[in-house]
Structure 1
Amino acid sequence: MTTSDPTPDTARAPTGPQDSPFQDERTRRDDAPQYVLPLVARIERAAPPARTDALETAARAVLVMLSDTRSVGDGEWAEAMRSWQDARIRKVVRRARGAEWRRAEALPGITVAGKSAEVRVFPPVPLDGWPKDLARLQVSGTDLDDPEPPAGPDPAAPVLWLNPEVGMSAGKAMAQAGHGAQLAWWDLDDVARAAWRDAGFPLAVRTAAPAHWQDLTTAGLPVVRDAGFTEVAPGSCTVVADHTALRS
């Protein structure tokens, strides 16, 4: 399968609620070999990216990886992608600068640039089998700020809404935005996927107002329920993915 003709088969979409890779309860996915999707954010001391741009860039990086020809069919990353999606869907965001970033860029992967952010996504690796140039990067404490409040999202673009009552570091929120983007991708049909991909995966990440959040979680849209490995309580609803094609 190529990126011009994605299918639900190769996306390994879950077959129903009991098959969700984001449940906090034990499922058959826990018995499979566990993989993780590494993402590395470039965070230079003198010019860190804006928080919202970093979250949006991480989400797009996940979508680019999911739709890349190397990730599907007989592609060179396809087996690792299938193994990752057959187990718990783990994403870990680490940060790099200077020589660390240059070493990360030398490894197989895809760099996605936003307005101020750069995120490199790598094919999945075993949970305990990180490449040494990624394993040495820091994972905890990645936090960023927006220099000014983000503008309202484009009403025509997909939005990944963050839970206003769940506080997360920037690194954790980047991973959660990636989860939301992945669930939206899984739920879209081939036509909607192709349109989104061909447009360059436009999207926004915003924190929902409390009343809006309640509406979102009951609208039948994809919801990320975190397994609780880090920062948040197991079962916390962290992101709702809102896409016009998912409301029709």
Structure 2
Amino acid sequence: MTSNDTVPYDEDPRDRAPQFVLPLVVRIEKAAPPARTDALETAARAVLFLLSDERAAGDGEWARAVADWEDGRIRKVVRRARGAEWRKASALPGMAVTGATAEVRVFPPVPLDGWPKELVKLQVSGTDLDDPEPPAAPDLTRPVLWINPGLEMSAGKAMAQAGHGAQLAWWALDDAARDAWREDGFALSVRTADPERWAELTASGLPVVRDAGFTEIAPGPTVAVEGGERYCPLPRLRLP
């Protein structure tokens, strides 16, 4: 299982359909920027909260936009905002998700060239964040999104990749497991794998996000999704 961002445009029939993008906005105030790992995890959880929201399913007001988005490439773009920009963005329909230090707002998918005016002027580049301390070891009883250690990505790019990985995990679950994960607040970890571990992950058959290479990085694998023990059938995604 891989992200559907992987197939070149001239080979994928889905590219003939209108293209949509999932906007995410991370709040980065000058005086109190979020920690990088927390921002990545919060972005991943934001994607899951949107996918699980009743407005994104059935006859919900976002359902058509989500379906059209998932029929194409599951594009995600992370922009940054602070102060008045953040307040304007927060007035749009969407969902705010908070972590220990991070706040991310996710919006229903929009056409690739149809961003709301409150979001289109927000900056994409320059979303660079640091961890003040090395992150703790991940909780292996819950899903872990392992980042390719050979890549250098801005925080914004890495947040989008973490969102892709979370979406692959969501697609792998049945309804009962999805409900259990949601009740757990979509707990997950995002960590960078060491090179040896990365080689094992990508050879294991686990879900892997493969970026199409249109921004920042060359085409190839970016995130491997390892399931935890708390959500059946996610244990079947674990390494043997």
Q: TM-score per shorter chain, which class?
A: over 0.9
Provide the residue aligned with 1:22 in structure 2. 5
Q: Does 1:133 find its partner at 2:118?
A: yes
Question: Partner amino acid for 2:223?
Answer: V
Provide the residue aligned with 1:118 in structure 2. 103
Write the distance in 1 (CA, Å) between the matches of 2:5 and 2:20. Answer: 14
Q: Which region of structure 1 is more displaced relative to structure 2, 236-245 or 104-113? A: 236-245
Write the distance in 1 (CA, Å) between the matches of 2:211 and 2:142. Answer: 24
Write the distance in 2 (CA, Å) between the matches of 1:218 and 1:184. Answer: 17
Q: Does 1:90 find its partner at 2:78?
A: no
Provide the residue aligned with 1:68 in structure 2. 53
Q: Does 1:58 find its partner at 2:64?
A: no
1:146 aligns to what SS in structure 2?
coil
Residue identity over aligned pairs, in percent, reads 70
Question: Partner amino acid for 2:128?
Answer: D
Provide the residue aligned with 1:5 in structure 2. none
Write the distance in 2 (CA, Å) between the matches of 1:172 and 1:156. Answer: 26
| C-alpha contact (below 8 Å) 1:34/1:88 kept by paired residues | yes
Q: Does 1:246 find its partner at 2:229?
A: no
Write the distance in 1 (CA, Å) between the matches of 2:63 and 2:170. Answer: 17
TM-score normalised by structure 1 residue count: 0.90
2:165 aligns to what SS in structure 1?
helix
Write the distance in 2 (CA, Å) between the matches of 1:102 and 1:196. Answer: 30
Provide the residue aligned with 2:196 in structure 1. 211
Provide the residue aligned with 2:25 in structure 1. 40
| C-alpha contact (below 8 Å) 1:21/1:29 kept by paired residues | no
1:182 aligns to what SS in structure 2?
helix
| C-alpha contact (below 8 Å) 1:24/1:226 kept by paired residues | no
Show the 5 A alignment for 1:103-114.
Answer: 103-114=88-99
Question: Partner amino acid for 1:227?
Answer: A
RMSD between superposed Cα atoms in Å: 1.1
CA drift of 1:136 comes to 0.7
CA drift of 1:171 comes to 0.2
CA drift of 1:40 comes to 0.2
Show the 5 A alignment for 1:150-189.
Answer: 150-189=135-174
Q: Which region of structure 1 is more displaced relative to structure 2, 190-199 or 95-104? A: 190-199
- Superposed CA offset, 1:3-54 (max 9, x none): xxxxxxxxxxxxx77xx51214231111110000000000000000000000
Instruction: Count matched residues.
Output: 230
Q: Which runs of 4+ in 1 moved over 6 A?
A: none
| C-alpha contact (below 8 Å) 1:24/1:228 kept by paired residues | no
Provide the residue aligned with 1:12 in structure 2. none
1:54 aligns to what SS in structure 2?
helix
1:120 aligns to what SS in structure 2?
strand
Write the distance in 2 (CA, Å) between the matches of 1:156 and 1:23. Answer: 29
Write the distance in 2 (CA, Å) between the matches of 1:157 and 1:115. Answer: 18
CA drift of 1:247 comes to 3.7
- Superposed CA offset, 1:120-163 (max 9, x none): 00000000000001001001121100001000011211100000
CA drift of 1:246 comes to 3.1
1:142 aligns to what SS in structure 2?
coil
Provide the residue aligned with 2:210 in structure 1. 225
CA drift of 1:206 comes to 0.1
Provide the residue aligned with 1:196 in structure 2. 181
CA drift of 1:218 comes to 1.6
Write the distance in 1 (CA, Å) between the matches of 2:27 and 2:197. Answer: 32
TM-score normalised by structure 2 residue count: 0.93
